[in-house]
Structure formats: C-alpha cells, structure tokens
Amino acid sequence: MSNENQVKHWHVTYNNIHNLIRKNCPKIAVDFNPDLLVAIGMSSSSSDCRRIRINQALGFFPARVMRTFLREATTKKTLQIQAIGLSLYEPIEGVAEEKIAEEVIRTQWLGAEAGKMLIGKRVLIVDEVDDTRKTLSYALTELKRDVETELLNRPEADRDALRASTKFGIFVVHNKNKPKLAELPEGTTYYSGEEVDDVWLNYPWESTDIEEHDRLAALDVENAAAATKKDV
C-alpha cells in the first residue's frame, strides 16, 4: 500500500482530552447547564455472524472529566452520569443493506425507567468522537423516543410543557470534518472539544503501553510542526 493510501493516525493523550474538556466547560455550564450526563460507552455484546462490529463508542472518560469541571462551575454538585452502550456495525458484503438504526446496536440502556429519568431534564450526551454521526443520531433519536413513551403516562394537558422542558445536547471531544452519514435535528445543541481532519484517532484508553502512546503523540505533534514549516 502506498503511503498516501494509508489511514493517517493521530495519538491523543489523556492530558489533551482533559484540557479540551476544561476549555469547553465554562461555555457548556453557562449555555446548557446540564442536569444529567449520558455517556455513550461500550459493553460486551454477543457476536453476530451477519455483521462485523467496526466501532464502539467510548464517552465514559470524557463524561467523568466533564463532571469534575461542571460541578465546579455550576450548582449541580450531584450531577449524575448515566451510561448507554452502543456499537456501530457494518453489514458484511453481500448481505442486504440495513438501515442506520439496525447498524447501531444497543448493548446497554437506561432501564425501564429511562423516560422518567430524562423527562424535564437538560441531558448532555457525551462521546469521544463524532465520525460518521450514526451513533450520535441513533442515541439522540432513541432517548427522545423514551421521553415520548413516558409522556403518554402523563396528563395530556402537561405534555407540551414537559416536552419543551426536556432538552438534549451533545458533547464530543473530537468532531471529524467529513461528510456525515446521519443527521442531527436542526438546532441540536452541539459542542465539540476540537474539530479535526478525517484521521484515525488513537485514544489513550486503547493503549496497553501508555508511555509509548504518549511518545507517539509527541512524535505526531513534532511531525505536524515539521510539515507545516516545510509548507511555509
């Protein structure tokens, strides 16, 4: 494979992520001021011979760091983190095309009381990266569906006000600048720690040797600086 065809990697350190979240939290605290964080994470799921799992979201660490800064900046001292588990699958060639909702598989959800937990709250969905956007789109649609289900248990006269007071926002550490394969409803509150090119991001929690990971991250920064210098 020629160098040009190889996927470019960029190593991200724990400190990079921590600092991106720190930078964004003052704005999130003022503008959105969440009552609840929903971290998109992964959990183990059974194998499925019709599909291959290509991606697993992992927003646990960013959500935990964000909680520290939001507790500091707001009155929400008991800000909760709830977890949902999603995996993005790609149909194996030759298998009939599947819809977005079928490509994202739930491996963990909020439980039977999901709607009760969400209704009337300002809910910030947290993930590490927005790549194709399929995972975020699925998560938002399904959480809104839980709210609609719960609304059916409430007096009809209260429903519009309850629906209006339930707000969803999204925070991702990185948003890749690329054409997205799924959309978010217009006006969705959306924050990204950093906009990045369409490269493969190596996250520190995927590494088994954190010193080597950090060394590679420093090298990425050096190489990028050298390339910029050459271009000038």
Sort 122 into a burial class: Cβ within 10 Å, 0-12 / 13-18 / 19+.
Answer: middle
From 15-23, 122-130, 156-164, 224-232, span contacting ligand 5GP (CB under 6 A): 122-130
Catalytic residue among 35, 130, 131, 146: 131
35 included as an active-site residue: no
Question: Which residues share a beta bridge with 189?
Answer: 169
Give residues 2-41 in contact with ligand 5GP (rule: CB under 6 A).
none
DSSP H/E element including 57: none
> Binding pattern to ligand 5GP, positions 59-88, x when CB under 6 A?
-----------------------------x
Choosing from 27, 200, 223, 226, the residue that interacts with ligand 5GP (CB under 6 A) is 200
Choose one: 51-59, 63-71, 110-118, 141-149; the region binding ligand 5GP (CB under 6 A): 51-59
Closest CA to 194 of 15, 7, 19, 6: 19
Residues touching ligand 5GP: how many (CB under 6 A)? 18
Neighbour count for residue 82 (Cβ, 10 Å) = 16
Query: Which is nearest to 67 in space by CA: 52, 81, 53?
Result: 81
Among 134, 150, 170, 220, binds ligand 5GP (CB under 6 A): 134
Instruction: Please enumerate in sequence order all residues whose Cβ is within 8 A of that of 79, keeping only pairs 6 or more positions apart, or say none.
Output: 34, 35, 36, 37, 67, 70, 71
Q: Is 56 in the site for ligand 5GP (CB under 6 A)?
A: yes
The residues binding ligand 5GP (CB under 6 A) are: 55-58, 88, 127-135, 200-201, 203, 206
